[in-house]
Amino acid sequence: MKKVVLLLGAVMVLAGCHTDMWVQPKTTGYKESELFEDGKSARPLEEGVVARGLLKTDSTRFKGREKDGALVSEIPTSLTIWGEKVNTKTELKKVLQHGQERFDIFCSHCHGKVGAGDGMINQRGLILRRPVATYHTDRLRKMPVGHFFDVITNGYGAMFAQAPRVPVDDRWAIVAYIRALQFSQAQPKSSLSAEELQELDKKKLDPAEQAQKDGEAEHEKENAKGGH
């Protein structure tokens, strides 16, 4: 009996001196280390190292510029939208729909739903050195698509860069949608059918004003429903 008690005692004492597996002789991120001269455990990357998937050699896609720095005049032929490869020539509608959605989320509060520079926060208190731009000017209609990609990526004047929020392929989809907006707002009356003209007469507003009004009407409806 005495022996058993002794043995049990020994087991208890020994069990108290073990090293748990989660305490290991290893280092973790940002820990100090005496092993290396610079005192850091994390090793610096070799010069020129590029993380997988981040080698951005294609300047037309990632900068909107040719190798000589000239702005590109066409969007890439293939974009990845929600993980799916989309051909921008044969599936343009998908690209535009995605562009519209992204534009509405990331740009319309300043630029307005049709890009006339009349977004809601612009109307209600946004104060910048310069007013929000409308896309419907001759200068911007003539700008190559690369310019729009560049503006989204790097910002422009008083507008801050959107690159941290809008991934590269989404930016291209937005660019395509801006082109569609420009096209939609710059059609001469003579290009409309009799039916479309009648429709327009009923509204008696230019399309940008109408879009604004529609937006407000929708807002009213939401309010009436007892929203915020």
Q: Where along the sequence are the contacts to ligand HEC (CB under 6 A)?
A: 106-107, 110-111, 128, 130, 132-133, 140, 148, 151-152, 156-159, 162, 166, 174
Closer to ligand HEC by Cβ: residue 126 or 200: 126
For 58, the 3-state DSSP assignment is coil
Tell me how far, at minimum, the Cβ of 89 lies from ligand HEC, in Å: 22
| C-beta neighbour count of 49 within 10 angstroms | 7
Name which of 41 and 153 has its Cβ closer to ligand HEC.
153
Residues facing residue 78 across a β-bridge: 87
Torsion of CA 4, 6, 9, 11, to 10 degrees: -70
Report the nearest approach of ligand HEC to the CB of residue 92 (Å): 18
In the bound state with ligand HEC, the residue whose beta carbon lies nearer, of 161 and 197, is: 161
Given a contact cutoff of 8 angstroms between Cβ atoms, the answer to whether 103 and 148 are in contact is no
Beta carbon of residue 134, minimum distance to ligand HEC (angstroms, whole number)? 8
Nearer to ligand HEC, 2 or 130 (CB): 130
Judging by DSSP bridges, how do beta strands 84-87 and 78-81 pair with one another?
antiparallel
Tell me the angle at which helices 168-185 and 145-154 cross, rounded to the nearest 10 degrees: 130
What is the total residue count of the chain? 228
Q: Token pair of 109, please?
A: 């509060």
Q: With contact defined as beta carbons under 8 Å apart, do 183 and 92 qualify? A: no
**Complex with ligand HEC: residue 86 or 107, whichever CB lies closer:** 107
Q: How far is the CB of 71 from ligand HEC (least distance, A)?
A: 11
